[in-house]
A and B are shown apart, each in its own frame.
Chain A
């Protein structure tokens, strides 16, 4: 019975896979790059794991590895979201200009 919470996690894992497939089964090709770059930013969620390694009680090896992980994950998260927003801003501007032209 002790393993029940773990099984729930595996359950979430399986459902998330199917959800992911369902969510974006049809994407217009002009959005391929932003979708990739935006979902890439989401994969920076590993920053949560990195932060949890920075427990003040831990030894130096764990902490410095965790620190490096935080740095790289932050690059991924901040850079990923900003660059995606920049790209999508261009798409947006055009939508307004299109009908008027």
Chain B
């Protein structure tokens, strides 16, 4: 009876997750969807607590400690620190799945394979062969470990604690492939070794290998490619949970983990498409470390002043603001919102053009601008803005680089050739806010900056925008 009730609750939880994810996909229902899915999680936890014989002190202690840490982190984080935090949470999810795998393996060794399978059968009602459980444990460890350290590296890069530039060493791909094969051999040894000591050694080696692999796979990926990687790691954390579900034969883990895995993959695909690159290319090319040869950029960058920019903006009828990672770094979103407001009062039509991979995580710019209270209708996607770009008086590029590089349209030799961009160069006048003269994150010179109609405004983006706002106040 108890088991039936538990499983019914698990089904209810799965339904809530499904509706939750569905509703997260549309602006009007997203918040409700997130709450629905959190109710689903609560149901799943309550159902699990109905299993007899749990160690209550550890249950309550663990949930309180983890919940408190999570709550404090979620409440304290600034919106600019959001990408790091999401990466970190994601890593913890992967680590939790890895630990579940390890705990189950410890149980299996304590009890012996046969007795463990009996316990599993008593708990889940499902009979499985030993090799299946061991295979699931191995895969959980592999995916969970990669998710954990991969997310930690992503967190380090996003938080600026690790260099954002791609780090490559000779033969890295060969090493990665070798490690992956070794990990798979480790899984095979675990499966064949059961509760023996060789299998334990193989399991420990497997954990180490998966942790190392997570680092090696993520380290070569440049900051500009972070949205792809974060989406992919998000997917992997779901797959790790699904694999953990196969160890303990629990349907809610399998279903929920799978949903996350699939939705993460979709997001990864959207990000890749926005960069016109394949996932393999993002993961293995070390983009930016190798791509330095930018030919065909001629002319010079023309520096301008805030006063000049003011006169042009003052006369402008339509303005498009194109934010990028630089806006996040300078924390300029509130100043930018103020500038947009003043331009509107001045009679101009103001739009924000958001590239899908602007920033360091999917939707990064939208979150920042939402925090600054920029009205939703003003945020437009690339496809909406590009057709009207030639009619725009002034395009203001704030800390964006590759996503406005016209070389992607017309220079087949450019490494980013073919990537869809926001056609800022088609506006009558372009102002580019940039910290210094150097090439951008990818190491590419940007043809836009050398354009005939482009003026550069060097300096901190927030200071520059605030100075512009002040000019309007005079």
Q: Does B51 belong to the interface (CB within 8 Å)? A: yes
Residues of A within 8 Å of B61, CB to CB, are: 67
Residues of B within 8 Å of A62, CB to CB, are: 103-104, 106-107, 110
Are A6 and B49 within 8 A (Cβ)?
Answer: no
Residues of B within 8 Å of A23, CB to CB, are: 18, 21-22, 25, 259, 262-263
Contact with A26, one of B25, B59, B103, B356 (Cβ below 8 angstroms): B25
**What is the bound-complex CA distance between A78 and B86, given in angstroms?**
12
Tell me which residues from 83 to 107 in chain B have a Cβ below 8 Å from any Cβ of chain A.
Answer: 85-86, 89-90, 92-93, 95-97, 99-100, 102-104, 106-107
- Identity of the chain B residue whose Cβ is nearest the Cβ of A47 in the assembled complex: B45
Interface of B (DSSP majority class): helix
With A29-B381, A82-B71 known as contacts, the answer to whether A61 contacts B241 (CB < 8 A) is no
Q: Does B379 belong to the interface (CB within 8 Å)? A: yes
Are B373 and A42 within 8 A (Cβ)?
Answer: no
**What is the bound-complex CA distance between A82 and B92, given in angstroms?**
15
With A6-B132, A33-B362, A74-B62 known as contacts, the answer to whether A42 contacts B103 (CB < 8 A) is no
Are B375 and A98 within 8 A (Cβ)?
Answer: yes
Q: Does B433 belong to the interface (CB within 8 Å)? A: no
B41-77 contact mask (Cβ, 8 Å, vs A): 1 or 0: 1001100110101110011011101110111011101
Are A54 and B21 within 8 A (Cβ)?
Answer: no
With a 10 A CB-CB cut-off, give which of A43, A62, A76 has the most chain B CB atoms: A43
Q: How many Å from the CB of A65 to the closest CB on chain B?
A: 4
Contact with A91, one of B22, B30, B237, B260 (Cβ below 8 angstroms): B30
Are A5 and B103 within 8 A (Cβ)?
Answer: no
Contact with B75, one of A30, A35, A82 (Cβ below 8 angstroms): A82
Are B250 and A91 within 8 A (Cβ)?
Answer: no
Interface hit among B120-128, B282-290, B294-302, B392-400: B120-128
A36-80 contact mask (Cβ, 8 Å, vs B): 1 or 0: 111111111111111111111111011101111111111111111
Contact with B249, one of A6, A31, A71, A76 (Cβ below 8 angstroms): A6
Contact with B96, one of A25, A56, A72, A93 (Cβ below 8 angstroms): A72
Q: How many Å from the CB of A97 to the closest CB on chain B?
A: 7
Are A78 and B66 within 8 A (Cβ)?
Answer: yes
**What is the bound-complex CA distance between A38 and B367, given in angstroms?**
14
- Identity of the chain B residue whose Cβ is nearest the Cβ of A26 in the assembled complex: B25
Contact with B103, one of A6, A24, A50, A57 (Cβ below 8 angstroms): A50
Chain A contact residue count (CB 8 A cutoff): 87
Contact with B260, one of A6, A39, A97 (Cβ below 8 angstroms): A39
Residues of B within 8 Å of A91, CB to CB, are: 27, 30-31, 370, 376
With A31-B27, A77-B70 known as contacts, the answer to whether A65 contacts B102 (CB < 8 A) is yes
Residues of A within 8 Å of B165, CB to CB, are: none
Are B54 and A54 within 8 A (Cβ)?
Answer: yes
Are B24 and A83 within 8 A (Cβ)?
Answer: no
Contact with B376, one of A6, A30, A54, A55 (Cβ below 8 angstroms): A30
Residues of B within 8 Å of A28, CB to CB, are: 26-27, 381
**What is the bound-complex CA distance between A85 and B252, given in angstroms?**
23
Are A37 and B86 within 8 A (Cβ)?
Answer: yes
**What is the bound-complex CA distance between A61 and B127, given in angstroms?**
25
Contact surface of B with A, Cβ cutoff 8 Å: 17-18, 20-22, 24-28, 30-31, 33-35, 37-38, 40-41, 44-45, 48-49, 51, 53-55, 58-59, 61-63, 65-67, 69-71, 73-75, 77, 79, 82, 85-86, 89-90, 92-93, 95-97, 99-100, 102-104, 106-107, 110, 123, 125-129, 132, 230-231, 234, 237-238, 240-242, 244-267, 270, 354, 356, 361-364, 366-367, 370-371, 373-377, 379, 381
Nearest first, the 4 A-B pairs at minimum CB distance are A20-B262, A74-B66, A79-B70, A32-B363
Contact surface of A with B, Cβ cutoff 8 Å: 2-3, 5-6, 9, 12-13, 16-21, 23-59, 61-63, 65-95, 97-98, 101
